[in-house]
């Protein structure tokens, strides 16, 4: 079965949002057109409590994008974003969600960040996505969304580690750090993840 995983196409990651990805809105029509090409369409949604540990506002004297150590790992401090129940956490209004069979929410534990749709950053807790995809019979997993260099990248990395044949849809994803993403693409390719464009699917 061919599955599409749409990662975090939410208002706070679109220009005008609190953690906007440049040109993030441009992927929405591409993702909408893609959905009919798949047997199964699912999405992930960043869903943070207001007191989430990754928010700079919850650390006195710290600034956004500053890096701290958290549970022995580096943690970027972000602007408040995708807070549960807020407009910023909602999917982009133009994103067609009718075909979404289910939505996997992540980042719900206030004590640890979760970039991947599969696990938190410490791999302490699973979202259940691996089991869901295997139960559904997913053989090929295509990933797209925001931001390409953070949540889509880590989701693709984990998906490959979990044994799925993975494809990263480049024109249906946008990165926060373009230069860093070029290096990450090489890592994904070296792992055996194919970089594709929407017109090749």
Which domains are present in the chain?
A: 2-49+80-200 (3.40.50.850)
Q: How far from the centroid of its chain's Cα atoms is residue 105's Cα?
A: 10
Bridge partners of 166, per DSSP, are 141
- pLDDT for residue 201 is more than 90: yes
Q: Which of 12, 46, 80, 106 is catalytic?
A: 106
DSSP state string for 141-158: EEEEEE-IIIIIHHHHHH
pLDDT at 71: 83
**8 is a catalytic site residue:** yes
Tens digit of each residue's pLDDT (9 = 90 or more) over 134-150:
999 999 999 999 999 99
Mean pLDDT of 168-197: 96
pTM equals 0.96
CA atoms within 13 A on the CB side of 120: 18
User: Which of 11-15, 29-33, 44-48, 66-70 shows the lowest mean pLDDT across its residues?
Assistant: 66-70
What separation in angstroms does the CA of 45 have from each of 1, 74, 176? 23, 23, 17
| Of 82, 144, 151, 166, catalytic | 151
Query: How many CB atoms within 10 Å of residue 158?
Result: 21
- The answer to whether residue 151 is catalytic is yes
Mean pLDDT of the chain: 96
pLDDT tens profile 23-37: 999 999 999 999 999
Burial of 172 (0-12, 13-18, 19+ CB in 10 A): buried
Give CA separation, 62 vs 57, 76, 113, in Å: 8, 11, 17
**pLDDT at residue 117 greater than cutoff 90:** yes
Please name which of 130, 134, 128 lies closest in space to residue 108, comparing C-alpha atoms. 128
Q: Is 73 a catalytic residue?
A: no
Active-site option among 8, 12, 80, 120: 8
pLDDT of residue 86: 98
């Amino acid at each position: 079965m061919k599955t599409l995983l749409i990662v975090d196409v939410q208002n706070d990651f679109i220009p005008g949002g609190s953690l906007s990805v440049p040109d993030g809105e441009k992927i929405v029509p591409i993702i909408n057109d893609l959905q009919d090409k798949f047997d199964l369409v699912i999405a992930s949604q960043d869903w943070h409590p207001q007191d989430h540990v990754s928010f700079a506002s919850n650390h006195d004297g710290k600034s956004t994008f500053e890096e701290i150590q958290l549970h022995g790992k580096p943690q970027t401090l972000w602007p408040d974003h995708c807070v549960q129940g807020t407009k910023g956490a909602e999917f982009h209004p133009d994103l067609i969600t009718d075909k979404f069979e289910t939505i996997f929410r992540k980042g719900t534990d206030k004590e640890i960040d979760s970039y991947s749709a599969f696990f938190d950053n410490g791999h302490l807790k699973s979202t259940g996505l691996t089991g869901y995809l295997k139960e559904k019979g997913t053989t090929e997993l295509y990933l797209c969304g925001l931001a390409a260099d953070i949540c889509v990248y880590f989701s693709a990395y984990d998906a490959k580690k979990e044994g799925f044949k993975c494809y990263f849809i480049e024109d249906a994803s946008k990165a926060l750090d373009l230069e860093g993403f070029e290096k990450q693409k090489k890592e994904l390719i070296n792992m055996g993840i194919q970089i594709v464009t929407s017109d090749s699917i």
